[in-house]
Amino acid sequence: MHLLSGKKILLGITGGIAAYKSIFLLRLLKKSGAHVKVVTTPKALDFVTPLTLATLSEFPVYHQLQDEDGNWTNHVELGLWADLMVIAPVTANTLAKMAHGNADNLLLTTYLSAKCPVYFAPAMDLDMYKHPSTKASLEKLSGFGNIFIKPGVGELASGLSGEGRMAEPEEILNFISSHLQSQLSLYNKKILITAGPTYESIDPVRFIGNRSSGKMGYALAEAALNLGAEVCLISGPTALQLSHPNLQIIQVESTQEMLDAVKSNFKNQDLAIAAAAVSDFTPVEVNAHKIKKSDQLLNINFKKTPDILSYMGKTKNQQVLIGFALETQDALKYARDKMKRKNTDAILVNTFSETNPVFGSDQNNLYFLSNKEQINLGQHSKQVLAQKIFQLITEKFL
């Protein structure tokens, strides 16, 4: 999923020859999954048509303060609608007006009403771009908190070649995506998450395991990715799927396989969350062939599985380590003891009951325990809980 997917974007277009590029930018924004409304200056329509823009955006094109019937266009509503605003191209004329708060057209009044981040990509001739008044306008707009997308060097409409050419649509899209990603709370953080159950083989067709669906671990992975992290998800058997450019999924089955994957990846992480419901026991011997059904009792000897959380607690260096605990009684007491024994920085406590079945459920009720505090996160969907968990981790540990 693209970072701009679902975002509401206002695309502002001013009256310069580079306006034709805005059509391609609009296409790219739509392909990224964004909802785009177009606001233009009156002169922009000398270069691009409302029909083209409306067809591509799937919204009416806004270009005048009042329509032919005298109906007022609500620029405040437009400005407040957007998650971000992109003005491309910005002519020298509009640049100066934006810098000085002029409001003589719909695009400018909408810009002044916007509460969202505003990106602007100038386009003008070489000497206009280098003029001291233009430089002053650029500095003033950047000082207001607007984000400047630097023009490129190349052929200009005048026939000259130099700086002032509007950045290409692909460059603008990449710039916005990179900038938004850099603002995310987990940007550049590496996070390892274990999820799902582990299965311990009895024979080629049978195993022992548990009822874990993996939903909590996958919700944590998705939340981390949306916050800009690079995620290594080590997953036991589950029907869940997740895809993202910053996601590495390692599929495992047994506890030993999960431990081996953790050993290979734990060292380079900033944070690890052990959300998997790992089997505590595994058969001493695995039958090479399917055990035949008989009337006799079947005895299977078990041994303990490797302790993955203890391994991470003993070997962690700079990593923040978060564990999970599931208890049916005295949950907070046992979880606090587990946090000390396993050397975790915090632990998330599932309280299993008839009203909170945990396994397979889309909701959960969690407590967040650290050495300093105990926080009841409440009963929520696992997606909401994942967001709350990362908010706490970011505030307290990262």
Is the separation of the CB atoms in 282 and 233 below 8 Å? no
pLDDT of residue 386: 96
Q: Among 72-76, 85-89, 96-100, 284-288, whose mean pLDDT is lowest? A: 72-76
pLDDT of residue 73: 74
Judgement on whether residues 166 and 268 belong to the same structural domain of the protein = no
pLDDT of residue 113: 93
Report residue 333's pLDDT band, with 50, 70 and 90 as the boundaries: confident
pLDDT of residue 211: 86
pLDDT of residue 155: 82
Q: Is the pLDDT of residue 328 over 80?
A: no
Q: Write out the two tokens for 138.
A: 């650029």
pLDDT of residue 364: 85
Nearest to 10 by CA among 120, 90, 84, 104: 84
Q: Among 155-164, 239-248, 358-367, 388-397, whose mean pLDDT is lowest? A: 358-367
SS3 content of the chain, % helix, strand, coil (to 5): 35, 25, 40
Which spans in the chain are helix H? 19-31, 50-57, 75-81, 92-100, 106-113, 126-130, 132-143, 169-182, 215-226, 255-265, 308-315, 331-342, 382-396
Q: Is the pLDDT of residue 72 over 80?
A: no
Judgement on whether residues 34 and 177 belong to the same structural domain of the protein = yes
**What is the spatial distance between Cα 53 and Cα 27, in angstroms, rounded to a whole number?**
10
Mean of the pLDDT values across residues 146-173? 90
Largest CA distance in the chain: 95
Q: Is the pLDDT of residue 216 over 80?
A: yes
Report residue 215's pLDDT band, with 50, 70 and 90 as the boundaries: very high
Q: What is the DSSP letter of 266?
A: G
Q: Write out the two tokens for 217.
A: 């671990």
Q: Is the pLDDT of residue 360 over 80?
A: no
Q: Is the pLDDT of residue 361 over 80?
A: no
Residues 6+ apart with CB under 8 A from 388: 377, 380
Mean of the pLDDT values across residues 222-241? 96
Judgement on whether residues 148 and 219 belong to the same structural domain of the protein = no
In this structure, how many other beta carbons lie within 10 angstroms of the beta carbon of residue 26? 24
Mean of the pLDDT values across residues 98-114? 94
**In a domain? residue 258:** yes
Judgement on whether residues 154 and 264 belong to the same structural domain of the protein = no
Judgement on whether residues 309 and 290 belong to the same structural domain of the protein = yes
Judgement on whether residues 258 and 282 belong to the same structural domain of the protein = yes
Q: How far is CA 326 from the centre of its chain?
A: 28
Nearest to 24 by CA among 128, 150, 121, 145: 121
**Helix 92-100 vs helix 132-143: crossing angle, to nearest 10:** 50
pLDDT of residue 154: 85
**What is the spatial distance between Cα 261 and Cα 27, in angstroms, rounded to a whole number?**
41
Judgement on whether residues 40 and 164 belong to the same structural domain of the protein = yes
Judgement on whether residues 266 and 174 belong to the same structural domain of the protein = no
Report residue 190's pLDDT band, with 50, 70 and 90 as the boundaries: very high
**What is the spatial distance between Cα 25 and Cα 5, in angstroms, rounded to a whole number?**
15
Q: Is the pLDDT of residue 353 over 60?
A: no
CATH no. for residue 87?
3.40.50.1950
**In a domain? residue 1:** no
Cis previous bond, 89, omega within 30: yes
Mean of the pLDDT values across residues 172-200? 94
Judgement on whether residues 28 and 95 belong to the same structural domain of the protein = yes
Dihedral through CA 386, CA 391, CA 395, CA 397, nearest 10? 20
| Identity of the residue numbered 373 | E
Mean of the pLDDT values across residues 323-329? 82
Please identify every residue annotated as catalytic: 210
| Identity of the residue numbered 355 | T
Mean of the pLDDT values across residues 312-323? 96
Mean of the pLDDT values across residues 383-390? 96
User: Considering just the CA atoms, what is the radius of gyration of the chain in Å?
Assistant: 28
pLDDT of residue 75: 86
Mean of the pLDDT values across residues 366-370? 92
**In a domain? residue 208:** yes
Mean of the pLDDT values across residues 36-62? 95
pLDDT of residue 318: 92
Q: What tens digit of pLDDT does each residue of 261-303 get?
A: 999 999 999 999 999 999 999 999 998 999 888 767 788 899 9
Percent of the chain with pLDDT over 70: 96
pLDDT of residue 35: 97
Judgement on whether residues 160 and 194 belong to the same structural domain of the protein = no
Note down the domain range covering 27: 8-182
Is the separation of the CB atoms in 22 and 50 below 8 Å? no
**In a domain? residue 374:** yes
Judgement on whether residues 123 and 244 belong to the same structural domain of the protein = no
| Identity of the residue numbered 125 | D
CATH no. for residue 253?
3.40.50.10300
Q: Is the pLDDT of residue 122 over 80?
A: yes
Q: How many structural domains are present in the chain? A: 2
Q: Is the pLDDT of residue 69 over 80?
A: no
- Distance in Å from the first CA to the final CA of the chain: 25
pLDDT of residue 8: 97
Average pLDDT of the chain is 92
Is the separation of the CB atoms in 296 and 216 below 8 Å? no
Q: Write out the two tokens for 212.
A: 């874990």
Q: Is the pLDDT of residue 2 over 80?
A: no
Report residue 372's pLDDT band, with 50, 70 and 90 as the boundaries: confident
Nearest to 252 by CA among 192, 298, 294: 192
**In a domain? residue 313:** yes
Is the separation of the CB atoms in 121 and 90 below 8 Å? yes
Judgement on whether residues 238 and 299 belong to the same structural domain of the protein = yes
Last residue of some domain: 161, 182, 203? 182
**What is the spatial distance between Cα 23 and Cα 321, in angstroms, rounded to a whole number?**
48
Q: Is the pLDDT of residue 234 over 60?
A: yes
